[in-house]
Each structure stands twice: as C-alpha cells, then as structure tokens.
Amino acid sequence: MFDTDVFVLGGGPAGLAAAIGARRRGLNVILADACQPPIDKACGEGLMPDALDAASQLGIEIPAGMGFPFRGIRFSSPSHSVAAPFPQGDGRGIRRKLLHGLLVEAAATIGVRMLWGVSVTGIDGHTVQMQPGPVSARWIVGADGGQSSVRRWAGLSEVRHESLRFGFRSHYPMRPWSPYMELHWDEGCQFYVTPVAAGEVCLVLMSRDPQLRIEDALPRFPALYERLRGIRPSTSERGALAATRRFAQITRGHIALVGDASGTVDPITGEGVCLALRQSLVLAAALEAGDLNLYEREHARLVRRPVFMASLMLSMDRSAWLRRRTLSALSARPELFANLLAAHVGPLRLGQFAATAASLGWEIAIR
C-alpha cells in the first residue's frame, strides 16, 4: 500500500538516528532534507557517557581517534570551582560536522535511502509532497528541528512551556587545558568549554541577550579571558536560538516528532543529542509494534530528568544569590556535585537523588 514504511523529514542527528533505529528494526526508511551533508549547527559538541551508550545501542560506534575525551564536568565562577568525574566512562567532545558525517555513513551502510537537497512542501494523509514527486509512507517522522514544519502540518504546535535563550559558538586552536567539560558562570550568561580535538576547544556563550557576543562577554570571565588572549578563533562565530519547549502532544495518528521538533531542553544540560538518540530508540520500538502511544509515554519519561536538571541550573542563571550559595555549597561538599552529576547522566537512584537534593538544600540555607 505504501512506497516505504517510514519517511523521516529532517537529516540532522535526530532524523538520522530515527532512520537508523527504524531500519535496524527491519523497516524500509526514506529520509529527506533540503540541505547537503555534512550539516552544521551551533552546539556545545559534547557527548555525555549516556549519549555514547545510546549511540552504541543504535549500532553507532564512534572511532577512538575521533574527537577528544573528557572525564567529567567542572563548574567555575570567580570565587568557586568544583569538578566531578562521570560515574561510568568518559564523555567525548566531537565537532558537529564529524558527528553528522558518521551518522550519514552509518545510515547508508544499513540501507536508509537518503534524499539530500530535496524540499518537502507538505503532508496529505500518508503522502509526503516533495519536488521529485509524492511518496506514501505508513509512518511519517518529523525531525526537522525547533521550527518544525511537520509539527505545524500535523497540528501538534500546542505549547505547554516555553522560554528562550541565545547561544553563540566558536572554536579556538589550542590544546585543551582541562580533562573536564567546563561551565563558567557569571551574571546572566555562561560559557561552556568542550575539548573537541588534541589542538582545539569549542567555546559556547549562552545568555538571554540576543545582542551579546563572545568577544563582548569574555572580559567578564577573567580566567577564561586570559587563557584565550591573543588566540584567534579557527571558525567564525555561529549563533542559534536556544529554546526550552514542551508540547502537549508529540504524536498524532501515523505522525511522530523526534529531537528538537518534539521539544527542547536548554543546552546548558548538554543533553540535546542524547535525548534525540534515546527518543529514536523508543520510537523505533513503537514503530515496529505499530503503536505510537508507546512512544508518547516513553518520550514523556525520557525528558523528565533533563527538564529537572535544566530547571535547577536556569534557576542559578536567574538568581545571583542562589548561584553564589549553590556554588559555595557544592565547592564545600564536592560529593554532592558528584551525586548531581550521577543523577544527570543516569545511574543515581531516586532515593539517593532525594537525599542529595535535601543535603544541598540544607547547605544552601546555612551559608
């Protein structure tokens, strides 16, 4: 009855992961994107250990020589610094274009049919309208980003929550100075630094000010400013809207949304790619079972932890008082920071997390 089992609109990491997951379940998959690979995007370029695990479950193995490992996270401010290793394995900093190329190769190897440079103009029932001619699909997956056309066409744009920030990214040709991904805090903005190669670091500025740029914000971070003084960026500054969005539904009939099209968490969590990979795993299982209700439920479960962690960190962004007290408490009790990191990447149990949150609340209150 259909030209293909699954048609994926959008060829970024989320779309490729969804296509790979469905193909590995034995479904025929076509993917279309108006761009040509490799597709770049302003992002922090850090994959946490849980993202690497999700990629492995999809059959995507990142070669050991690709990117650069980091062993944990460091929070820094002018007066405080605290770091903790990941409880299970290292993360990996990897340039977005390299990651995209790896996913394209993985999709091609298992037989995903990819249509690059093809614009999709609409959906009519099970038919996808595009320039070469219509294609019918049993399932249609929207992986076309935060401004998703599929979401609009399917009537899935009802927003439950939304907040906006702005991100700007550049790269610097220098040897990574830390074994950690670093998050530097100041009033109203943050920098996070990810080692992406033996001789390169990725620098991302996050703020609520669309006019604030990297060169303007750096002097507010003296330690970081001194490290980068006199070093010219190796790439031009690239910006992106960093929205936090949750939608009332992410499926309707035979249509499902994945990745940023299905909602976003603030990039401060570093969990965007991981969420897309994990969503792709549960979406593939739901497509094989023929029941998108399974995906709707699992999608809601997957976003709970990163949404909570984003809310916690954005509260620190909004309140200088809370930020100072929290960083002071974590610096004094680094085991609490280690437990929060374990909760962030998955293995900490609910009871342990509740005890950690209670202890952190007490430490903040008494300072």
pLDDT digits (tens, 9 = 90+) for 322-353: 999 999 999 999 999 998 888 888 766 667 77
Cα Dmax for the chain: 67
Q: Collapsing DSSP states into helix, strand and coil, what is residue 328? A: helix
| Dihedral pair phi/psi, residue 167, rounded to 5° | -125, 145
Rounded CA gap, 95 and 178, in Å?
A: 18
Q: Per DSSP, which regions of 55-134 are E strands?
A: 68-70, 72-76, 81-85, 91-93, 113-116, 120-124, 127-130
User: For the domain 4-45+95-158+248-311, what is the CATH superfamily, name and number?
Assistant: FAD/NAD(P)-binding domain (3.50.50.60)
Question: Looking at the DSSP assignment, which residues form a beta bridge with residue 130?
Answer: 120
Rounded CA gap, 104 and 106, in Å?
A: 5
- Which pLDDT belongs to residue 360? 79
Distance of CA 130 to the CA centre of its chain: 29
- Which pLDDT belongs to residue 123? 97
The CATH number of the structural domain formed by 163-241 is 3.30.9.100
Do 208 and 164 meet the contact criterion of CB atoms below 8 Å apart?
yes
Long-range contacts of 311-317 (CB under 8 A, 24+ apart): 313/266, 313/268, 313/269, 314/163, 314/244, 314/266, 314/268, 316/185, 317/185, 317/188, 317/190, 317/268
pTM reported for the whole predicted model: 0.94
Domain borders along the chain are 4-45+95-158+248-311, 163-241, 319-366
- For the chain (367 residues), the mean pLDDT of every run of 10, in chain order, is 96 97 98 94 89 95 92 94 94 95 97 97 96 95 96 93 90 96 94 96 95 95 94 94 89 97 88 94 98 97 87 89 92 91 77 76 77
- Which pLDDT belongs to residue 283? 98
- Which pLDDT belongs to residue 350? 63
Q: How far is CA 48 from CA 81, 89, 96, 281, in A?
A: 20, 9, 14, 17
- Which pLDDT belongs to residue 348? 64
- Which pLDDT belongs to residue 131? 85
